[in-house]
Chains A and B, each alone.
Chain A
Amino acid sequence: GEKVEQHESTLSVREGDSAVINCTYTDTASSYFPWYKQEAGKSLHFVIDIRSNVDRKQSQRLIVLLDKKAKRFSLHITATQPEDSAIYFCAASSNMGYKLTFGTGTSLLVDP
């Protein structure tokens, strides 16, 4: 089955800098890649997603890049703010299953 590896377990940046979180996946049939944010003690909240028919998507300060050849996708948060501090999960979904497979999460800390 699909396996999603999230490379950075923790990431610390200074406010205003950019943060990049990288994920890789194993199933070439995967076609949908969302990102979720979890603040301390809270539930998960959808952040942004990308589908395999594009290689870049932007929503305000968030950019997602997808490299299908390398089976890699990444979340770029520009002009970081302290409220961006949270755990970010990447995920992948293929047409061969009826589920999302999540990475292990990256704890992002933005220092003011």
Chain B
Amino acid sequence: DPKIIQKPKYLVAVTGSEKILICEQYLGHNAMYWYRQSAKKPLEFMFSYSYQKLMDNQTASSRFQPQSSKKNHLDLQITALKPDDSATYFCASSQRDWAYEQYFGPGTRLTVL
């Protein structure tokens, strides 16, 4: 059974639109993260959450907004999409904090036309 679920697996959007990427983890972990992987930047940290509290934000743009409605959920809302946002977005979690083994979800591949 998948322990970290990301939905959808593939997503195609038009420039200027808004999308929400879903992440749920069933590992009982207290920390969750978002990463982005593209050809330009192989693996880029975006956000870290601990006990539903934002701990670090490395995205330069407010167009990216994480949303944590439950302890095991960390969704990512992206507004005013641009072609440069095209990437695979990975959600991850760890039992304690960033200095422990992180488990990665399968990813959502976003293409912005």
Contacts and interface: CB of A to CB of B under 8 A. Distances in A.
A43 B55 contact: no
Contacts of A89: 42-43
B42 A44 contact: no
Contacts of A36: 104
B106 A93 contact: no
B97 interface: yes
Contact of B104 (A31, A32, A43): A43
Contacts of B56: 97-99
A69 B98 CA distance: 23
Interface string B86-111: 00001010000111011111110000
Contacts, number: 52
Nearest to B58: A99
B43 A99 contact: no
Interface in A48-95: 49, 51, 89, 93, 95
Interface string B47-63: 01010000110100000
Contacts of B101: 34, 46, 49
A73 B8 CA distance: 36
Interface of A: 31-32, 34, 36, 42-46, 49, 51, 89, 93, 95, 97-102, 104-105
12 contacts: A32-B99, A36-B104, A43-B105, A43-B107, A44-B43, A44-B90, A93-B98, A95-B99, A97-B56, A98-B50, A98-B97, A99-B45
